[in-house]
Amino acid sequence: MPFLLEIQNLRKTYKSKKALDGVSFSVKEKSCFGLLGPNGAGKSTTMKILTGVLTSDGGSINMFGKDARKNRKAILQHIGYVPQDIVLYEKLSAYDNLVFFGKCYGLDGDVLKERINDVLKQTGLSDRAKDTVKSYSGGMKRRINIAAALLHKPKLLILDEPTVGIDPQSRNHIFDMIRSLKEQGTTMIYSTHYMEEVEALCDEIAIIDNGEVVTQGTLDYLFTEYGRKAVYMESKTNFPTEKLTGIEAVHSHHQGLIIETAAPVDLMEQIIHISKEQKILLHHLEIEKPSLESVFLSLTGKTLRD
Amino acid sequence: MLSVYWNLVKHDLKYRSNKNFNWKTFRFWTYVYCILFIIGVFGVFTYGSFHWKINLTTIWYFLWILPFFTFGMAIGKLKDEFKNGTYGWWLTLPYPRLTLILAKLSACAIQVVQIIIGIFVLITVLGGYISFLSPEGSMDRFVNFVKVGLTWNVIVILFVPIMLSLGLVVGVLVQSSLKPFLGFFWLLWGLFWVFFNVFGTKDNFGFFQSFFQTNPIRLETITTILTSWILSFLILILMAKVLEKYIKL
């Protein structure tokens, strides 16, 4: 699959603080690409540069096969941007907001009407279209914001933390929308600090921290390369972990222990064997499912919530 | 492209973007103050027409307020986009920054011209009222008053672009990493007014006084207006660059 977007060595400095320090990643066409990192990692700055709000201090962006610096206007016509803050005119109805946004992208007449009806259906807000945005919940506003970004049928949809501060119903609706857009072949960049969202929606992920992309790949690749291999166990009495071989680290977790190892199946066999031998009652024993949290921890030495 | 441009202009004309501002209350109090002001002005001039000697044309000095009003309006138009949190979207529109700010200033210009016309009508009515009441009033005097007013109003309108551009300088610099230059701008701004008001060019008057007290339609005026337009355009281009390269978000 060809790349729709290629970023090389992107740099941005605010006063003396390096917001982006050589960010590089590439996004395949028709994929949902996750940009995962803690607050202040550089996600929003990257998004703002991609959408032309900010200019970079260095590096290159190639989008749709064109140099983004030289073809800003042409490129922006194919981008839909959902910013972190809701951008709607509160006193207007959702419909009037969409008319305004659509016209800004050169849509008019029947084409605009048709597109508005389409995006309202996609967002599930057709029946509330004539209500003023002021009367909407945060989640509904966000959905209309996404609808506005979709009006001109962008080739690339950029979503900057679209689920921050919204209700679960709207969150699920947004997830369904993203899945359906993916099926329709829209390429998306999804920025978030929620790992579950990236795991649920994205085909490929770049982990960003301190203005640098620390790794990029599919979930499987990241789990295989960087995911913590471990076994979780709970027992009624203290378990003699010192008798286990091939372990790398032991952590307390809830009522049990997480034991890191390169060979989890071997370790489980050892635990079962020792339990039988010493008559220790095991409540819980399982291979720990790899998570992006552990990938992030192993790559940066800190958790996403730090 | 033109339809998109007008869509942006119309939007700025039609909708107040500041969602936290109570426009209903603002409008109500604006009307109250306007009515009180008009009643006050007509009251004072009714009394004055019988007891004082009124130099009608000096009423047009009220127009002095308009350049400052225009300047403030341009600052506010841009500031609203940032205050409302809509700048993120506004700046991602697939148009050059120059188009985006030009649309805002066009909306401002239309509003300012509407206000100037409104003030012109109001002052003309006031002048007619005074001419009618005053024992010294005459039709000739009133016609001359309207002619002077018309000239000055047109001149003020022709200076609207430069005032809007200067307002834009403040609006843009505040949002950019070049904010420290704002102090320099205010210094120049102050010196500009001092220079033209204090240092006279004719008969010991300051430039602006002499400008209004002699015939304003002269080569000097036309040259100044044309220069101000060129300067406005250069400022616009410069501010579009600042908005592109030095915006601080």
The residues spanned by each domain of chain B are 53-245
Chain B nearest C-alpha distance from A271 (Å): 55
Chain A contact for B91, CB < 8 A?
Answer: yes
Chain B nearest C-alpha distance from A53 (Å): 5
Of residues A76, A81, A104, nearest to B7 (C-beta): A104
Could B93 and A87 be called an inter-chain contact, meaning their C-beta atoms sit closer than 8 Å? no
Report the chain A residue with the minimal C-alpha distance to residue B84: A87
Band of residue B18 on the pLDDT scale cut at 50, 70, 90: low
Chain A nearest C-alpha distance from B21 (Å): 11
Could A104 and B85 be called an inter-chain contact, meaning their C-beta atoms sit closer than 8 Å? no
- Per-residue pLDDT of chain A (306 residues), as tens digits, is 678 999 999 999 887 788 999 999 999 999 999 999 888 889 989 999 999 888 899 999 999 999 988 888 889 889 999 988 888 888 889 999 999 889 888 888 999 999 999 999 988 889 999 998 888 988 899 999 999 999 999 999 999 888 888 888 888 989 999 999 999 999 999 998 888 889 889 999 999 999 999 999 998 898 888 887 889 999 888 889 888 988 888 888 888 898 988 888 999 999 999 999 988 899 999 988 888 888 888 888 777 665
Contacts of B16 in chain A (CB under 8 A): 91
Chain B nearest C-alpha distance from A91 (Å): 8
Band of residue B81 on the pLDDT scale cut at 50, 70, 90: confident
Dihedral-angle region of residue B25 (phi above 0 means left; psi in -120 to 50 means alpha; beta otherwise): alpha
Of residues B89, B91, B95, nearest to A73 (C-beta): B95
pLDDT at B201: 52
Distance of CA A106 to the CA centre of its chain: 30
Could B92 and A53 be called an inter-chain contact, meaning their C-beta atoms sit closer than 8 Å? yes
pLDDT at A273: 92
Chain B contact for A76, CB < 8 A?
Answer: yes
Could B244 and A55 be called an inter-chain contact, meaning their C-beta atoms sit closer than 8 Å? yes
Q: Which residue has the tokens 């060595």?
A: A9
Could A105 and B94 be called an inter-chain contact, meaning their C-beta atoms sit closer than 8 Å? yes
Question: Is pLDDT of B208 > 70?
Answer: no
User: Which carries the bigger pLDDT value, residue B175 or residue B89?
Assistant: B175
Contacts of B26 in chain A (CB under 8 A): none
The hierarchical CATH code for the domain A3-224 is 3.40.50.300
Q: Residues of CATH 3.40.50.300 domain(s) within chain A? A: 3-224
Question: Is pLDDT of B17 > 80?
Answer: no
Q: Which amino acid is at A235?
A: S
CA–CA gap between residue A76 and residue B162 (Å, rounded): 31
pTM of the model: 0.79
Report the chain A residue with the minimal C-alpha distance to residue B103: A104
CA–CA gap between residue A80 and residue B115 (Å, rounded): 38
Chain A contact for B14, CB < 8 A?
Answer: no
CA–CA gap between residue B59 and residue B42 (Å, rounded): 12
Numbers of helices and strands, H then E, in chain B: 10, 2
Contacts of A14 in chain B (CB under 8 A): 248
Chain A contact for B248, CB < 8 A?
Answer: yes
Contacts of A53 in chain B (CB under 8 A): 87-88, 91-92, 247, 249
Question: Is pLDDT of B206 > 60?
Answer: no
Chain B contact for A135, CB < 8 A?
Answer: no
In this structure, the number of other CB atoms found within 10 A of the CB of residue A71 comes to: 15
Q: What is the ipTM of this complex?
A: 0.72
The number of C-alpha atoms within 13 Å of B123 and in the hemisphere containing its C-beta is: 23
Band of residue B212 on the pLDDT scale cut at 50, 70, 90: low
Average pLDDT, chain B: 84
Chain B contact for A12, CB < 8 A?
Answer: no
CA–CA gap between residue A153 and residue A105 (Å, rounded): 10
pLDDT at B204: 52
Flag the least confident range among A210-214, B21-25, B140-144. Answer: B21-25
Report the chain B residue with the minimal C-alpha distance to residue A15: B177
Q: What is the pLDDT of residues A101-133, one digit of tens each?
A: 898 888 889 999 999 999 999 888 899 999 988
Q: Which amino acid is at B124?
A: T
Size of the A and B interface in Cβ pairs below 8 Å? 69
Percent of chain B with pLDDT over 90: 33
Question: Is pLDDT of B193 > 90?
Answer: no
User: Which carries the bigger pLDDT value, residue B202 or residue A256?
Assistant: A256
Chain A nearest C-alpha distance from B235 (Å): 21
Chain B nearest C-alpha distance from A55 (Å): 6
pLDDT at B197: 66
Contacts of B82 in chain A (CB under 8 A): none
pLDDT at A144: 92
Its CATH architecture, for the domain A229-289, is 2-Layer Sandwich (3.30)
Chain A contact for B93, CB < 8 A?
Answer: yes
CA–CA gap between residue B205 and residue B83 (Å, rounded): 42
pLDDT at B231: 94
